[in-house]
Each structure stands twice: as structure tokens, then as C-alpha cells.
Structure 1
Amino acid sequence: MYFDPESFNRDWDETFLLADIGILLEQFKRWQRELPRVHPFYAVKANALHPIISTLAALGCGYDSASKNEISLVLKCGVSPDDIIYAHPCKFASHITYARNNDVRMMTFDNEEELKKVKKLFPEARLVLRIETDDSEARTHFKGKFGASVSEGKKLIELAKFENMEIIGISFHVGSGCPSVNSFRKAIEDSKTLFDFARDVGFRFSLLDIGGGFPGTEEHETISPFEKVVIIIKNMTSRHRLKPTSVIRKALDEHFPAGSGVRIIAEPGRYLPGPAIELVTNIFAKTTTKDRVCYGVGESVYNSLTPVLMEGFHFHPQLLEVSPAVYGDEHPFILP
């Protein structure tokens, strides 16, 4: 069990985090077992605690970093720049320069303006074209915000060739907490379409980034949403599995089989550390009105509890019984 050292500098009744590194290891092994062909690039934004980053680095994980600060944090853990993808389609100019100065060459884009900005600041970059997906069933949606359509992608590939910029592959993101198998299937098919188009233009793509959105175990389900998605991707990467999702298996078998020379990566975020983290906060106030009782807790929906506001998450707190001599009438509780 890891105790956040910053908590030692806080008052006794403030919020802190507990991380069980053993559970993190179990999650990583589970990923390797279920998706042996897909190399995880952990999305640092999900949880940037040093022990999370350093543990995953020791396990050989790559990193999805979305800013200068996230790149810096990962580099300080001894991660090779080759194991970092700067996965934000819209980047600060100074952050692109920082990536160039630290030889972080792999980065995403999805529009003409970003392509020309990168050419000006980092012409040696190895670009990954992000395409849009159907994320209608996801908890967090990116369509309309990030990602080029297939037709837009073709124009960007032609433009990159004209501008003498290197594109190495395609990426997509089906949205956070996406349970839809069809979203992955369609995005992989669209990726193949652009792989073929790029070959005709003169590129030889070598990377497919299937993004994030992999959910963890949901309460009361015998098979987690992650494992449902895993069944799809495993079916798409093996010619010998007979599963109900045979249509999707056939898609990747046909388009990106083993031996095709295409490296497949993904950007799991909260899937990896989520089950390993406990938030310990405090009930510090109570208000009774005519029809309800309201409690004040030491954490906010604008901080660690953002998923409540943004994605409709429902946490199930566990009350901790403690000595009144320590906490008086206040009670901390854990949010798993």
C-alpha cells in the first residue's frame, strides 16, 4: 500500500489518496493476458502519482502524455522518449518545442492548422492522424471535438505528403467508458481504409493506436465491460477464436493480422490505476432541510469527483469508524 507523501504536509482532516500497487500490477497483468498484441501507453492524465508512473515504467509500459508537464513527469521516471506519444491533437507551440528538445517525436494531429504548426516547430515529428469515431454510447464524447472524418483524413494525408511531413499511422478514441463493440469495429475498418489510401499516396503506415475508453469492472456484472471489449479485440487479432463477435474478429484478421508489420498500441487511462486507488475524505458538515439531509465532504466534483459531474459516475462510499478522540464528531470515509 502506498501513502501519498504530500498528505504528510496537510492538516489531519484533509483528503488524501491510498494506492495499492499490488492491484495495479494485477491490472497490468490482466491487460497483458487479455490483449497480448496491444502495447499499453498509459494515459498520464488519469492519475499522475509518481508510484503509478514509476511502477508502470518498470513494467515496460509506454505513455500517452497530453502536455509538457505530463511529458516532463514521465521523462523524469527514466522513460525513453520513444515510449511516449504526445496524444493531444491541439498543442501549445511551446509544448511542441519542449517535445522536440526532448526528442519526443510521436504526436497526434487531426487538422490542417495543427499539421502546419508542427511542421514549423518540429518538422522531424512522427505524426499519427487521429480520426473520429461513433462515441454515442460512451460516457465522455469526443466526436465533433477531436478527430478527422475519413474524407478529411485523406486530404490531410495528401497535404502531409505535399508538406514533406511523416505520418506513421492512425489513432482513434471511442470515448471514455465505452461499452460499444461496434465503435471499435467501425474505427478499425476506417483505419484500414486510410492505411490503404496512405499506401497509394506513398506512405507506409506502421502504427495503429486504438486509444482509450476501456472500462473497468462494473458492480453486479459477471463479466466487466473491459472484458467484453477484450473479447472483440482478441477476436480481431486471432484467426483461431470462435466468439459471438466473429464479424469484428474478421475485420482485424483481414485488415491488421499478426505479421502485417503494424504495431498496435492503446491508451488505457483509469482502467489501470482505478481499482488500485482509494480516496479518503472527510464528512465535515451536515445540514438538515425540510426534505433532505445534506453532508459536506472534503472533496469536490471539480477535483477528484469530476466523473460525477462529467460522466454520471455513482460512487459508493465506505464509512470508516474511527475513535472520537482522533476525529471528534467528524468521520472520514473511502470512495473506491
Structure 2
Amino acid sequence: MSQVEVLRSSVTFDFDIDIFTSCSPCSPSTLSASFPREKRLTNALVSELLSVPSHIVRAEEDDEEEDVVVPGLPPVLRGHRDVHLRRGVMKAAELATENEPDAEKAFYVADLSYVYQQHLRWKKNLPEIEPFYAVKCNPDPYVLRLLAALGTGFDCASNGEINQVLSLGVDPSRLIFANPCKATSFIRQSAKAGVDKMTFDNTDELYKIARVHPGAKLVVRILTDDSKSLCRLGLKFGAPLVTVPALLAKAKELNLDVIGVSFHVGSGCFDSNAFADAVMRARAAFDMGKDAGYNFTLLDVGGGFEDPTFEATASVLKNALEEFFPARENLRIIAEPGRYYVAKAFSLAANVIARRAPPNSTEAAWSQETDTDSEHPTVMYYINDGVYGAFNCILFDHQTPQPYVLSLNGSFHVPSTVPLRASSVWGPTCDSIDCVCSVTQLPSTLQVGDWLAFDNMGAYTVCAASQFNGFQVSKVTYTTGGEHGKEVREVLRSFVA
């Protein structure tokens, strides 16, 4: 592959007239004849950037309702996600004209109405199961506020997550410390905070709890088949059923209160039948509890819920509960959904900061190629976020994000006739593992200064981003542009932390 070809951005901004007074494309004839051609073209270009198709503009933007403002946090705006992606690009262009460092910084747009919509979907399909949001998936302050206002519980894995949720005024009874292997100091602190529900899967954990939190309400986490999941948590957690009787006997000996059973089929489970098998194993564990002298009243069916298969999973889970727990009058059932709530709520916009292509390559040369190899990229694009930032989900969560063009040659309009070529997309750091897409199809006219966008960037992304090589974590713009935007804003306003 050739060396990096240093290119000037295809978009330069030098505003000599007030282009922000209209959302209609400028006509050169309306400008002074003495106005330089380059500036006329630039302003016409930016006017096009300002024009947004009517199908993504919500009428509510024209009303006088104010944005949601929480002290210390960015405002929650209104308008469709795509509107704010475009506005972010335009803001970057404006900052560039002011010589602002890192003007083209990558950014998220989060549509909180999607989180609300997912909650309604959950209540419709699994009304009997209380969702305890897995904070680890995305501890975004607005996501937590919205879910707290909606009455969900929270699955916390550390003292930090517990403190973050409790700081919102959430009652400790709505938390479960769902980490089977906790530091003793964390267990002691949870006792002080009044967080009693917690999981265990080994004898040493019982000894720690008996010493520093003897009043805890314990949940034994059993091992399940997670072979069909993206992240196999059973490699680290979960007591095999054969060990459960001895664990419960030790808990009884230590005078600890075990109230139920939990399991986790693995994060990102695409096999709905895994839940049926897990519920069957939980039934066996309940029976073991009775033999040990316990009367379990809690079943935690864990996480693993995927957006595309949610209805199918809900059906399998309900049928399994009906079969193995037909009498549920005194049984509380909770779950730990994470990515289900937030994956599709966040999108990311990233700027093309560099390009590496064959020497003296031209569009004509590419178009003359007789056989375009779709598996071997002919050009490398470098963007300003990567696997050490938002795209850590590639390494840690086995995701394969795919880009689409947000702006091309300064325009948000990307004709369907634009030729595509095999390309690779790389992050900004000096590490060679910083590859976002090893091969993808992108327009052959994509240049430095253009923007790519990625959807489904809400789960296990920003929460694990680092500042390696001095790159900052991408910031979030919030909106409520979905179907239930008004309801979301009302819920947020009514919530007092």
C-alpha cells in the first residue's frame, strides 16, 4: 500500500455573507457580481447543508416548547436525529472558520425517545418481568434519568455504578448488585447504602458477605448455556448446577438469606431458545433451594435481549415460565436488559481526516478497472474516532459497525449513482489494530473533510472509550426526535433527582 497522500479538505468555509439567514440554496444570481466565485460556491454549498428534507423535520420544532435543561448536563433538544447529525457537521465547519482546534471532532447524537419506545415495547411483551437496566452497557446520565423516571430497576456491577444511580434519588431497593465476585470494600459500602440484593456463585463470596453484610438478600447465579451469544459470560461467572446444593448448604450454615436464582445467557444472545433452557435449570435450582430450607421468591432472568429477536425471545421466555413456574403468585421476576434499551438510540458522526490511495489515482483510473475486487480495499480512509474510543465495541463486544456517508464533497445529498469501491476505515491513533472496517463499500469520490456516520452505537461504546494517544472521548448531543418525543420531555421534566 502506498504512503499517506496528504490532501487538503474538499470543504473550505469563508463566510463573507450571512448564509445562516435562509435554509434555501443560494442562487449565484442573487449575489453581487463582484463577490468571488469561490465564495459564491462555498455559500451555496453551505446553504445546501442547511436545507433538510421535510420528511425528517418534526412539526413540534416550530412550537414554543423549551428544550429540557438539567444543571450540569447538555440540553435535550428536539428534532430528528438526522437533523442534529447535519447540524453537528455544520457546527464543525463554523468552528473551522474560527480556527478552533479539533473543530471536526467526532460526536454522538442520542435520541432518547428510542429508549422510551423500547421501554413501552418491553412492558407490552413482558409485562410480568421487571427490567433492571444494566448500567455497565451505557451509564449515560440522561439514559439513567429517563429509566429512573420510568420506574425501572438497575443492575449495578460496582460501587461506582451504585453511587451513580443512587445520586439520582433512586431507592436502594431498586438496585441489584449483580456481580458475583465483588471486592469486600464494595460489599461493605453497599451495606451502608442500603443495597441488599446481590448475586454470588462461590463459597468465598459467601464468607465475605457474612463478614460485612450479613443482612444481604442473596441470589445464586447459576451457569447456563451461552454458546450462542456474542459475549460468553459463563466463561467467568455462574455456578454449575451440581455445585448449587453445597453452596446453599454453606449459605444456610452462615445464616445468610438466599432469596432466589439468577442466570445470564450471555450478552448479545441470538438464540431465543437459550432462555427456555436457562429457565429449566433455574427450576432445578429452586427445588435445590427448598431442599436446603429456603423458599425462593426471586427469579432473575438476566440479559442478552437483542432488538431484532426481542418478540421471539419474549414468547419463548413466557412459555418457559408457564411450563416451569406455573404458580407465580409469590414470585418476583426481574431481568437485566442493557443493549436492548440503548444500542439503536445512539449514532456517531466521524470526520475523514486522511486518505491513503494509489499514487496519481483518479476517478477515471478507478472507473477503467475491468475487475474491481470487492474483498481487497484500494483506498484507506482515516477517521477521528477508533477502537480506543467509540469503536472499542469491535474489540470488546464483537461488533461490526458499518459506515454510511453523511456528507460527500460538502453535500448531504449522495446520489445513488455515485460509484463505490472497496475501502477500509481506520481510527486516528498510531496503533495498527485501530481498524474500524477492514473492508466496506464507499463512494470513490470520498475526500478528506467528508463525514461518515455509524448507527447502533449506544451499547458498550462510550462507556469503555479511552483517551489513548491524547484523543478525547466523543461528546453527545441529545434529542427527542422520535415518535414519543413529547412524552420523553415531560417525563424528564417531571423527574427531580
TM range (shorter): 0.7 to 0.9
For 1:286, the aligned partner's letter is R
Matches within 5 A, 1:110-149: 110-149=201-240
1:305 correspondence with 2:391: yes
Aligned pair in 2 of structure 1 residues 309, 2: CA closer, same or farther (>3 Å)? farther
1:282 deviates by 2.3
Q: Which residue of 1 aligns with 2:33?
A: none
The one-character-per-residue Cα deviations of 1:62-96 (angstroms, maximum 9, x if unpaired) are 00011111111111111110000011111122221
1:214 correspondence with 2:305: yes
Cα separation, 2, equivalents of 1:121 and 1:266? 27
Q: Which residue of 1 aligns with 2:119?
A: 28
Q: Which residue of 1 aligns with 2:270?
A: 179
1:20 deviates by 0.9
Check conservation: 1:2, 1:20, Cα contact below 8 A. Answer: no
The one-character-per-residue Cα deviations of 1:13-36 (angstroms, maximum 9, x if unpaired) are 223222111111111000110111
2:349 aligns to what SS in structure 1?
Answer: strand
1:334 aligns to what SS in structure 2?
Answer: strand
Cα separation, 2, equivalents of 1:231 and 1:2? 37
1:289 deviates by 6.0
Check conservation: 1:34, 1:234, Cα contact below 8 A. Answer: no
Match of 1:226 among 305, 310, 319: 310
Check conservation: 2:245, 2:292, Cα contact below 8 A. Answer: no
The one-character-per-residue Cα deviations of 1:275-331 (angstroms, maximum 9, x if unpaired) are 111122222222236963222222222332233224432222232227859xx9423
1:78 aligns to what SS in structure 2?
Answer: coil
User: Relative contact order (C-alpha < 8 Å, sep 6+): which is higher?
Assistant: 2
Matches within 5 A, 1:239-318: 252-257=321-326, 259-288=328-357, 292-318=378-404
Name the % identity. 39
Q: Which residue of 2 aligns with 1:221?
A: none
1:147 aligns to what SS in structure 2?
Answer: coil
Cα separation, 2, equivalents of 1:163 and 1:180? 38
Aligned pair in 2 of structure 1 residues 312, 166: CA closer, same or farther (>3 Å)? same
1:333 correspondence with 2:452: yes
1:10 deviates by 9.0
1:208 aligns to what SS in structure 2?
Answer: strand
Check conservation: 2:229, 2:265, Cα contact below 8 A. Answer: yes
1:2 deviates by 8.7
Match of 2:185 among 94, 102, 114: 94
Aligned pair in 2 of structure 1 residues 114, 292: CA closer, same or farther (>3 Å)? farther
Cα separation, 2, equivalents of 1:135 and 1:311? 15
Cα separation, 2, equivalents of 1:148 and 1:2? 45
Cα separation, 2, equivalents of 1:275 and 1:183? 23
The one-character-per-residue Cα deviations of 1:199-220 (angstroms, maximum 9, x if unpaired) are 122111111000000011xxxx
1:177 aligns to what SS in structure 2?
Answer: strand
5+ residue gaps, structure 1, are 217-223, 237-251
Q: Who wins on radius of gyration, i.e. which is larger?
A: 2
For 2:207, the aligned partner's letter is K
Cα separation, 2, equivalents of 1:231 and 1:111? 32
2:235 aligns to what SS in structure 1?
Answer: coil
Cα separation, 2, equivalents of 1:194 and 1:312? 31
1:271 aligns to what SS in structure 2?
Answer: helix
> TM-score normalized by structure 2?
0.59
Cα separation, 2, equivalents of 1:61 and 1:17? 25
Check conservation: 2:201, 2:222, Cα contact below 8 A. Answer: yes
Aligned pair in 2 of structure 1 residues 65, 2: CA closer, same or farther (>3 Å)? farther
Check conservation: 2:184, 2:212, Cα contact below 8 A. Answer: yes
Aligned pair in 2 of structure 1 residues 306, 192: CA closer, same or farther (>3 Å)? same
Cα separation, 2, equivalents of 1:23 and 1:102? 32
Check conservation: 1:167, 1:205, Cα contact below 8 A. Answer: yes
Check conservation: 1:2, 1:21, Cα contact below 8 A. Answer: no
For 2:332, the aligned partner's letter is R
Matches within 5 A, 1:57-96: 57-96=148-187
1:215 aligns to what SS in structure 2?
Answer: coil
For 1:171, the aligned partner's letter is S
For 1:331, the aligned partner's letter is D
Cα separation, 2, equivalents of 1:10 and 1:135? 46
Aligned pair in 2 of structure 1 residues 266, 48: CA closer, same or farther (>3 Å)? same
Which stretch of the first structure deviates more once superposed, 169-178 or 7-16?
7-16
2:338 aligns to what SS in structure 1?
Answer: coil
5+ residue gaps, structure 2, are 1-66, 76-87, 92-99, 360-376, 412-446, 456-497
Cα separation, 2, equivalents of 1:95 and 1:141? 25
Cα separation, 2, equivalents of 1:54 and 1:205? 31
Cα separation, 1, equivalents of 2:378 and 2:323? 58
Check conservation: 2:273, 2:316, Cα contact below 8 A. Answer: no
1:260 deviates by 3.5
1:119 deviates by 1.3
